[in-house]
Amino acid sequence: MRRMDGWMDDCLFLAYYNSLLVFFFLFFSSLSYCFYVYYYYYYFFTSCFLARSLSVCLFVSFRVCFLLWLIVLS
Residue 54 and residue 34 in contact, taking contact as beta carbons nearer than 8 Å: yes
> For residue 74, what is the DSSP state?
-
pLDDT digits (tens, 9 = 90+) for 17-68: 777 777 777 777 766 666 666 666 665 555 556 666 666 666 777 777 777 7
- What is the rounded distance in angstroms from the CA atom of residue 16 to the CA atom of residue 20? 6
- What is the rounded distance in angstroms from the CA atom of residue 60 to the CA atom of residue 66? 10
Residue-level pLDDT at 1: 42
Residue-level pLDDT at 34: 65
Helix axes 47-73, 6-40, angle to 10 degrees: 160
Residue-level pLDDT at 28: 73
Residue-level pLDDT at 19: 72
- Say what the pTM is: 0.35
